[in-house]
Amino acid sequence: MVHLARLPERGVLAIAGEDRVAFLQGLVSNDVAEARPGRAVWAALLTPQGKWLADFFIFSDSDRLLLDCERPQIAMLLARLERYRLRARVSIEDATDALAVHAAWGGVPDLSTSLIAAPDPRLADAGWRLLSPAPLLTNARFEDWDLHRLALGLPDGSRDLEPERTLLLEAGFDELAGVSWTKGCYMGQELTARTRYRGLIKRRLLPVAVAGPLPPPDTPVLAGGVVRGTMRSGLAGCGLASLRLDSLAQPLLCGEAMLTPRPPPWLRLAS
CATH code of residue 222: 2.40.30
**With bands split at pLDDT 50, 70 and 90, how would you rate the model's confidence at 270?**
low
Do 125 and 208 fall within a single domain? no
Is the distance from CB of 211 to CB of 253 less than 8 angstroms? no
Q: What's the mean pLDDT in 246-250?
A: 94
Cβ atoms within 10 Å of 262's Cβ, excluding its own: 14
For the whole model, what pTM was predicted?
0.96
CA 60 to chain centre: 18
Judge whether residue 271 has pLDDT over 90: no
| Average pLDDT, rounded, for the chain | 96
Q: What's the mean pLDDT in 23-27?
A: 97
End-of-domain residue from the set 126, 158, 190: 158
24-61 b/e (C-beta count within 10 Å ≥ 16 → b): bbebbbbbbebbeeeebbbbbbbeeebbbbbbbbbbbe
Residue 173 lies in a domain: no
CA 149 to chain centre: 11
**With bands split at pLDDT 50, 70 and 90, how would you rate the model's confidence at 199?**
confident
Alpha-carbon gap, residue 266 to 269, rounded angstroms: 10
65-86 b/e (C-beta count within 10 Å ≥ 16 → b): bbbbbbeebbeebeebbeeebe
CATH number at residue 21: 3.30.1360.120
